[in-house]
Each structure stands twice: as C-alpha cells, then as structure tokens.
Chains A and B, each alone.
Chain A
Amino acid sequence: MNAVLETFLTDEIGPLPFCPGCGHDRLIKALDQALVKLQPDPKKVVIVTDIGCIGLADRYFTTHAFHGLHGRSITYACGLKLARPELTVIVLKGDGGCGIGGAHLLNVARRNIGITLIVANNFNYGMTGGQHSVTTPTDGLTATTPQGNIEGAMDLCATTIAAGAPWAYRGTGFDRDLADRIADAIRQPGFAMLDIWDMCTAYYLPRNQLKKKDLSGMMERLGLPAGLLADKQRPEYGEQYRKIHAQAKQAVRRRPGISAKYGHALNQQTGIVIAGSAGQKIRSAAALFAQAGMFANLEATQKDDYPITVMTGHSITEIILSPERIDYTAIDSPGYFVVVSEDGLQKSKALIKALASGATLYAEESLDLPETDARVVRLPIVATAKKINRLSIGIVALGAMLADSGLFPMDAFKESISTLQKKVIAEVNLQALDAGARILQSECD
C-alpha cells in the first residue's frame, strides 16, 4: 500500500509564479487538493496545459506534465487518453485558449472523450498584456477594448453542453468547495468541464475596478448561472471505440493474390483508355481487366478520372499494360480507346481526334464520333449489356475489345472476375464478358 500523498505539487522549482493576488494560484491549489482527495498514482496523471498564464502551472505538479501550443491542449489530451485510457488527463487552459482552440472545445464535448478541462477564466489575455478574449463581458475594458467591449461573452458551459458535454460546472476561484467540485469532475468517466472565474490582478481587475466578491454579481448580470449545469453521463468515446471494435474484430480480409499463369501478345507498353459515365462501373470493370492482364504475366497500372459528385458525369479510366516494368504512367498515345457513353465521349473528344492510325477505337454504336485516324469498331455495347445487367456495360465493352485485340487470353479475364469478385456479382460479369466477346463474332456471322 502506497503512502498517502499530502500534495501533488513540488516546490523544487520554487513557488507558483503568478502575480500577487492572481486567481490561478488558488485554482492550482484547489486542483492539488482535489488530487490529494482522490489519491491517484502520479504516474497515471497527466496535467496538460495551453499557452497563457495558466500554462506556467503544469511543471509544478509531481505528475506527468505536457505543455503544448496555444489552443491545442485538448488535442494532445485526447491523443494521450485514446492511446492510454487508464490515464487521468487534466487540461488547464485559459479563456484565450477557448477562443483560438474553439473547434477542439466543441469537438471534445461532442465526442465525449474522458478528460477533465479546467478553464481558468479571467476575461482577458494576461500573458500578452490584457487583450480581450471570447469571455470578456460586454462593456469590459481591456487593452484592445478601450471604449468597452462591444462583443458578447461566450458562455463556455452552455456552449460545451450544447455540443454534448455530459458534465459541466461553473464557479469561482473563491468557492470553498472548489477542490471538491474539481474532484467530482475528475471522477467523471466522460468529458468534464469546469469554467472557473477568477481575477487577473495585473490587467482586468484594475481596469474594471472589479472586487473579489463581484464575480458572482457578474454572473448574475450576464445571466450566466453558477453551479453544476450538466450531469448526464453517456458512453465515453474511447471506451465505446474499443467496445465496438472488439465486437467487430476480425482478421483483415486480404484480397486473393494474383499469379501470372497465362501468356500474352504484347511486346511493348500499351495504353488503354475506357471512357464512360459514372454509374456504369467503368472503374471496377477496368480494374478487373487490368488484373486479368496481371494473370497474363503483364505489369499493369490504373488511373481514374471522375467528377467529385457521384452517379453523374464522366468516368474515364486509363490502363497501362506492359510486358516490362512500367515507368512512365501517363498515356501520351493510347493503343486502344473504348468509349461507351455520351459523357465519356464529350470529355475525351480531343483525345479521340488525336488517336494515331495504329490505334483502335471501340465505340458504342449510338454515339456520334469525331473524325479520327484510328481504326473504328462500332459495337452495340449498351443494347448487349441491357439484356444482362445495366451495370455490366464496362465488362461487355472490355470483353469485346479483348476478343478483337487478343491482348491476352479470355480465360485470364474470366479468372480475374471469378477470383476477385463475390460469387453473385462474378456470375453476372462472366455472362457479360461472354456476351461482349461474342458481339464481334455475331456481327461477322
């Protein structure tokens, strides 16, 4: 049994550094008393501080101390807590940090990560000369509001409660039960927020002729209540995270590997472009085709181009196949071009016009094609696919293209589909492939 710790503060580096009469002194001592009351193992406690006068405090604790960037203390605290859920993580930040780090304040409350946040709220930036902050009361005099503050004061408790904070308390540094309330906050499994109002004797107090007992009056005038303002637990984020993932835990599904088992008819790097519409499964059909090439002992690359919206506009995929390593992954002059829809045609008209005479263009027969030097093969792709499945246009087109070009054996394409796709989908795609491969045959019949 460890000895009872009588304090979590050290005087090794001297007394607390705050200005005479500064409220931070009282707050730090109240936090110490709260820790004495709770008696955690100091090795399991991290005091995380922000920039600002209160950020001078972490190093006076015998616990771990983490002093981070202005406004970002909550983010480090969340990282520490997520990585080591057994830690008691206490953030000390000022009202200034609540402004610059507003997004983190909202999001830690919303996520409900089990850290304790103590805001040492003295209505101005003490460290930089008494400028106004997000909590400076309207009419408050500061270095940057010499005519009186025309901004409204942020209600830190209401804001975090609205964002989802399950536990929130507002008080002052003079409250006799402050240490008990801090202890209550630390005991919460979820996010706990303490908005502790106090005196900046260097700047805010002299400028505003504030007296120590005025703090409660200020709360009343601003309509901001004191006391426990929320106490409604809900699952803590990290705990919930681990729980749902433990339930869903399963080995990573590795895709089946591809082994090069077929031959091919390519003697150089060859570019293939497939141009269609979103929703026609162009990208997945192209990926199956490229991987079929890999079954046929070819190297392959694939790049996709599509608008950021889904199910509308073009979908254009570039495949490169090569008997050797592919270095240059752009297609300056495609060997094969497949166009199956008006969207694809519109987006690639310039490319089609520029096709070389050695290239082949496979086009849906209903499309109005531009002039090109390429050999043109018009095919009833859409009509053929319609008989099978509207999502099979890409496979039908590539099946026809492969049958005509003979780049590699049709069996490689079949193997790609049946190995890499779920059985139900593979069956439809094998039908589509077969239908695509027969188009030219039947045209010749």
Chain B
Amino acid sequence: MSEKRIDEPTGTSTVGHEWDGIEELDTPLPRWWLLTFYACIVFSIGYVVVYPAIPMVHGATAGLWGWTSRGTLTTEMRAEQAKHATIKAALLATPLDAIDGDAHLRHEAIEGGKAAFRIHCTTCHGAGAAGGKGYPNLNDDDWLWGGDVDAIHATIAHGVRQSADTASRMSQMPAFGSTGILKPAEVQDVVSYVRSISKQDAPDAASARGATLFTANCAVCHGPDGKGNRTLGAPNLSDSIWLYGGDRASLTETVTNAHYGQMPNWGAQLDPVTVKMLAVYVHSLGGGEKAAAPAPAPVAPAAK
C-alpha cells in the first residue's frame, strides 16, 4: 500500500495502491461518458413510469401509456384486416360462380385462399394439396362430392361426416366383411371385380362371381358399372385414383372394414369470406369443374 500521490508525467493522482511497483492512475471518467450515464438514469426513470417494467405477481406494472406488445399486435392485425376490408366485402357480395369471371376478384380470392389453406388444410391435404392415403388429392379431376366451385364450397363449409352439421356430407359404406354381409371369399371376388373394372387385372372367373355380388351389394351406391355417385359421395371405382389404395390388400381392407374419413365443417369455424376464398383456391388447382357444361373457346387471359 503506497500513499496517494500525483503522477508526474500525466499530472493525475494515483489511487494509492501499488503491486510490485506498479501503480494505478485515478483517471476520471470522461465527461461525455458520465453525462451519457446520467442521461441514461434519467431516461430509465421515465421508462419505468410510462412502460411496463416492474414484475408483479400477475404480469408487470401497466405503465402510464398502457403499452403492451399484445396491444401492438392487435392494432397491427386490425390495420392489416382493414386493408383487406374492401376486397373482402366485394368477395362476400359476389356469388361464387361470378368470382370466376372477375379476374381481379379471382386473383384476390386465390391468394387469400392459398394463405388460409396453409393454415387450416395442409395438416391433412399437404402443402401442395396433393393429399395422401385417406386424404384426397385436391389437384386432380376426381371429386367425391362434386368438383364445381359450389360443390367444393359446400364440402368445405359443412365438412364430411360431421353429425353436428345437418348439411354435412354424409355417407356410410357398410363394413361388408367384418359385419358378415360378405364372406371372406366373396370379399375377394368383389375385389377381383373392382380391379377388373379399373383395368388393373384382366377379367377372370373370380371377377365374374364378383360382378354378381357387386350388382347385389355395391351398385346401389357405386352404380351398376362402378362409376360412382357424387350425390352419395360414392367414389368412382373404374378410374385410376384411389383414396385408400387400389391394390388387392388395400381394397380387401376397404371392403371388409370400410373407411369413414372426416373433415371439419369449416363454415362453423371460419368466416364466410375465408370459406369462399378456400373454395375458389381449391377449384383453381387444376381439377376444378365448370358448373355449366359447355366450355368456352381458348382465350388468352387478361394481363394482371
């Protein structure tokens, strides 16, 4: 411990410590630094008063300005919603089939639908709407309940097999095998017949037996030639698209136990505009059908 003294070369006092002959200068903090430091203290007092700062048992003190990050989010979300208000009102007022004729409205509906699809639909149908086993591919031209925009809208709004919604898409295929309506061998015959009408296998004796069973048990819903019935949600069995698989094992499983896939009735959860936009978006994915039969001549779309 040495005494405090004035260091000669710098003219500054030492702090009074000495370690092996090395002393420390008591250089004062720079004035600008001190002033900034005091300014920060003053600022922090103001900050604590106007902003939420001190942790309490249930959240922090509110602060004079009542600012919250959640409040900011709400305001920003509201501003964002307000931006869409005009187009949403227009979409709400326009009938579904008229949206197709309005290039601007259609574009907005597709973009809005795409966004909503990512949030609500991709869980089952996939990001590209390509579906998977048990979840229909929405890009193709095969529709269980109809592929025009109104039919798609109805399916989205009321869902599939939602007993709470009276307008929901309801169909119930009997579990032919497990309930004993058909014996296992008969199930195999029916499967052979289905594989023959979908041109996966050549007709043989089993499929001929299956044809009789099909007419008696299946044709009432799937039609005499297996082309399906959209009113009943009965899939077309003669095409190349299979929701639960078209191989023998999958078909056997389907005929034996049946499948009862479900989809939420989104009309109960989402606002009408979102459901409408979703319908237009799904319809635009490439497999959408025209409600009216005659197709217009190919014309170039208008520039956006």
Indicate, yes or no, whether A interacts with B: no
Q: Which of B's residues lie within 8 Å of A, judged by CB? A: none
Q: Which of A's residues lie within 8 Å of B, judged by CB? A: none
